[in-house]
Amino acid sequence: MSSVLTASTQGSESAVRSAPALSCRDVRVSFRDQEVVCGVNLELDTGQWLGIIGPNGAGKSTLLRSIVGLADYSGAIALGDGQTPGAADVALVPQSPIMPKGMTVAEYVLLGRTAHLGWLARESRADREIASSVLHRLELTAFADRFVSTLSGGEAQQVVVARALAQQCPVLLLDEPTSALDLGHQVSVLELVDDLRRTEGLSVLAAMHDLSAAARFADRLILIDHGRIVAGGRPEAVLKPDLLSAVYGTPLTVQPIDGELVVLPEPRRRAKPPKETP
């Protein structure tokens, strides 16, 4: 197995087994006077997939953005060793990444090495090795010379994941990674991330809209509403119909199918027209 991430995972194996890969303590983010993340605490264990669920505007993306330093926050966000995370520690797969015109897939993946550029802003030989092994690992070699702006949604999402992998971070953040994809590509992107988590020892923190996918892939879920965590724990503990219906503002049911939880909108009951009284 060509391990892309050996360099960054070796340390965490022995030293930080007990400490979480990433922790947030009382994280608060305000825009103007409105608090959109209101005191979030969470711990992401090494090798774990933690799913963040909640309706639009709940603060999921803002929480992820504050972890990569894109939003000003109060409170503490720390890695296992107590450091504030940087671009060499946490890689973000954004919700709607910009695909620049005329940039090839290989160039795009090389951007993942930005944090490691030397004084002359040239990628080292090692940087190039990492980029090419990521391309190879994700079976993107055939795409390598194509322009990113010409890729389909599914291909583009793989390429963005490849760029994040090239950052060689022990923690991967995904912001609605499958929102623009058809069902088949949704599954394949999530399975790819899950494979990488297992083979490379990544820890994954993912904001997810698809609750059934969240139930299938995440080890633990936290449910956020109006910037607050309203539930957290194993998927079967969080995905309760009453709770979800209240948070999402619409009746939802949770059905076990083949041992997996599937969250569905409750069938719409048409109000029967009142019988005309003669």
Residue with tokens 């209240």: 246
Could you give the angle at the alpha carbon of 174 between the alpha carbons of 169 and 179, nearest 5°?
A: 155
SS3 of 118-163: the string is CCCCCCCHHHHHHHHHHHHHCCCHHHCCCEHHHCCHHHHHHHHHHH
92 is a contact residue toward other proteins (CB under 8 A): yes
Task: Give min distance, CB of 37 to other proteins, in A.
Answer: 17
Task: Give min distance, CB of 105 to other proteins, in A.
Answer: 8
Task: Give min distance, CB of 224 to other proteins, in A.
Answer: 21
**Could you tell me which of 110, 180, 174, 173 has the C-alpha nearest to residue 140?**
110
- What's the half-sphere exposure (Cβ side, CA atoms, 13 Å) at 146? 14
76 is a contact residue toward other proteins (CB under 8 A): no
Report the Cα 218 to chain-centroid distance in Å.
11
Task: Give min distance, CB of 247 to other proteins, in A.
Answer: 28
Secondary structure (DSSP) of 165-194 = HHTT-SEEEEESTTTTS-HHHHHHHHHHHH
Residue 21 has which token pair?
Answer: 């890969």
Choice between 111 and 180, CB closer to other proteins: 111
Q: Is 202 within 8 Å of 50 (Cβ atoms)?
A: no
135 is a contact residue toward other proteins (CB under 8 A): yes
7 is a contact residue toward other proteins (CB under 8 A): no
Choice between 65 and 220, CB closer to other proteins: 65
Q: Which stretch binds other proteins (CB under 8 A): 10-18, 93-101, 245-253, 264-272?
A: 93-101
Task: Give min distance, CB of 24 to other proteins, in A.
Answer: 17
101 is a contact residue toward other proteins (CB under 8 A): yes
194 is a contact residue toward other proteins (CB under 8 A): no
180 is a contact residue toward other proteins (CB under 8 A): no
Mapped onto helix, strand or coil, the DSSP state of residue 210 is: coil
Which chain residues interact with other proteins by CB under 8 A?
1-2, 65, 68-70, 86-88, 91-92, 94, 97-98, 100-107, 109-112, 114-117, 119-123, 128-129, 131-133, 135-136, 140-141, 144-145, 167
